[in-house]
């Protein structure tokens, strides 16, 4: 009988602690209704929320150069991009 009482007491204590540790619900994120307009140069490109002018280029992976050409991004093989980490933003 003592063992049953002890088991019930410990169970009640653990359930009480578990209930007390519950986290409150997180507030829903708010979003702006209007998108932010990025000033874009003539024939420019946008990457990761930033504007780049025509001819801008950067390494996105090992031996892969991404270049803004007449308003569009193009990728080409470049020996100048050795060991570059991938930009996944």
Q: Rounded to the nearest 5°, which phi and psi values hold at 17?
A: -65, -40
Residue 61: closest CA among 88, 21, 27: 88
Give tens-digit pLDDT for 29-87. Answer: 666 666 667 778 888 998 888 889 999 998 888 889 999 999 999 999 988 888 766 55
d(CA 47, CA 44): 10
> Does position 16 have pLDDT exceeding 90, yes or no?
no
pTM for the complete prediction? 0.49
Question: Are 63 and 77 contacting, i.e. CB atoms less than 8 angstroms apart?
Answer: yes
User: Which sequence spans correspond to the domains of the chain?
Assistant: 39-89
> Does position 17 have pLDDT exceeding 90, yes or no?
no
């Amino acid at each position: 009988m003592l063992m049953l009482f002890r088991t019930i007491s410990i169970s009640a204590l653990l359930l009480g602690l578990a209930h007390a540790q519950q986290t409150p619900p997180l507030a829903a994120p708010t979003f702006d209704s209007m998108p932010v307009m990025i000033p874009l140069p003539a024939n420019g490109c946008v990457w990761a929320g930033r504007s780049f002018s025509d001819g801008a280029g950067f390494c996105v992976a090992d031996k892969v150069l991404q270049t803004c050409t007449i308003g569009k991004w193009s990728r080409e093989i470049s020996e100048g991009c050795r060991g570059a980490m991938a930009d996944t933003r």
